[in-house]
Structure 1
Amino acid sequence: MKTAEQNQSVQANGSAIDDLDTTAAATTPDSDDSVVITLKKPILRGKTRITEVVVRKPSVLALAGVVMSDLARMQTDEVIRVLPRTTVPSLVRNEVVQLDPADFFAMAGVLSNFFVSDQLPGLAEA
């Protein structure tokens, strides 16, 4: 469980939690490093409704233990492993596995797109 101080820290860092003025922080991430997903089915965390999640480009450390080719192909197990490491607010595994399939697919697509590079012939044009 998070303490009130940790929740305030999450709220102060621009998570999209109802009843907070976080619109600017949540909707203006660097387009190369993060994407805002508006959830079709909000996540309930206690009395808090999370309506938007920012998916950040994973760091190398966030990819530890991950089969990157599986993540790039949006393999469910790998996406479930990485999303808690790359989302703001940080989703726990239980929240990830209970996402609406459309929301999960959107986040998986964002993660997969982070691996597309114009330096890899054929991928950037696809």
Structure 2
Amino acid sequence: MSKADKPEATAQAEQTSKNPNEEIITLDQPIKRGETEITSITLRKPVSGELRGTSLMDLAHMDVIALRKVLPRISQPTLTDIEVGNLDPADLMQCGVAVASFLLTKKAREGSLEA
């Protein structure tokens, strides 16, 4: 294996080992929580009960109100509604894309990765 092949092999290994039910979001603007600074959050695929009070279409359209309901339920560390409301728009967009992708079937997600 040449040096040029190593980064490609590493990227392929990361893709195959990545949990499709989780997405790690690196925040452009960290969240300050007391003395702690949160620089990344992990979102996990929600179960149906965690979607209560929202519309799947609203989540698919990345509606801010729907995201404010769901993100605290699926984030690690757990974000508060106020923290979600104070997210930088670029960070909220990243979270919205992750949540919307969780709504796709496995086949649709694989097809979107190939495109």
Q: TM-score, normalised by structure 1?
A: 0.69
The answer to whether the 8 Å contact 1:116/1:124 transfers is no
1:80–1:96 CA contact under 8 A, matched in 2: yes
Instruction: Report Cα offsets for 1:47-106 as digits up to 9, x if no partner.
Output: 000001001101111111211111111111101110000100000000000001100000
Q: 2:75 aligns with which of 82, 87, 94?
A: 87
Name 1:75's counterpart in structure 2.
63
Structure 2 residue ranges without an equivalent (≥5): 1-16
Matches within 5 A, 1:1-126: 30-118=18-106
What percentage of residue pairs aligned between the two structures are identical? 37
2:9 corresponds to which residue?
Answer: none
Q: Relative contact order (C-alpha < 8 Å, sep 6+): which is higher? A: 2
- 5+ residue gaps, structure 1: 1-28
Instruction: Give the structure with the higher percent helix.
Output: 2
Backbone CA RMSD of aligned residues: 2.3
Which consecutive aligned stretches of 4+ in structure 1 deviate over 4 angstroms post-superposition?
122-126
User: How many residues are treated as equivalent by the alignment?
Assistant: 97
> 1:47 is aligned with what amino acid?
E
Per-residue CA distance 1:20-68 (angstroms, 9 max, x = gap)? xxxxxxxxx9521111011100000000000010011011111112111
Contact 1:117 1:123 in 2 (8 A): no
